[in-house]
Chain A
Amino acid sequence: GEDVEQSLFLSVREGDSSVINCTYTDSSSTYLYWYKQEPGAGLQLLTYIFSNMDMKQDQRLTVLLNKKDKHLSLRIADTQTGDSAIYFCAESIGNTDKLIFGTGTRLQVFP
């Protein structure tokens, strides 16, 4: 199947790091993505990683990719209340532009 799994909910204190995990299915995915969705809004691309990379850092965001285990994670350093949202990982299917989104993780940041 094409299920991309994420844990449903994560709660962190402001200033701490958040780690959101994702398990994907298609080993031929060229790129893997992290999107953010705030309430009532569309999706915003946060970052992506090419499938032959292990890690990518982009300011407060660090993406780790374990291709053997098909595991992707997003670490947000110094998490702020404005980071509260739903985070979706997504994989591109083979060499297509079709994105399969994960089940989504709701991140709640408390002061």
Chain B
Amino acid sequence: DTEVTQTPKHLVMGMTNKKSLKCEQHMGHRAMYWYKQKAKKPPELMFVYSYEKLSINESVPSRFSPECPNSSLLNLHLHALQPEDSALYLCASSQALGSRAPYEQYFGPGTRLTVT
């Protein structure tokens, strides 16, 4: 199983809502990532978790709150978002962190978020 699943597929939320994006993998990977991709732009890294601990936070605003409850799950909690936060949110996982080998990042299909 080389699949990363993300739910929901689409999400529309108001600026005062609280919602969560979910990501799951069962490949035994110990590194998980959140990316944000605006239309016609490349993905931009937001967060990296390694062994369920936050390893990289790319200066993301606090209205985005990641959580890694166990090695298979990664959540992104959303609160008080702005319309400019509308984007495709991609989750990825890889075997581990470390530059000794090019650990392939497996991507999920993404959640398309619209903030109204």
A positions within 8 Å CB-CB of B: 4, 30-31, 33, 40-45, 48, 50, 88, 92, 95-99, 101-104
Contact = CB atoms under 8 A, between A and B. Distances in A.
A22 to B, nearest CB: 11
B116 to A, nearest CB: 21
Interface residues of B, number: 25
A44 B104 CA distance: 9
Interface of B: 4, 31, 40-45, 48, 56, 90, 92, 94, 97-99, 102-110
Contacts, number: 57
B88 to A, nearest CB: 9
Given A88-B42, A98-B56, A101-B43, A42 B90 contact: yes
A20 to B, nearest CB: 14
Contacts of B48: 97-98
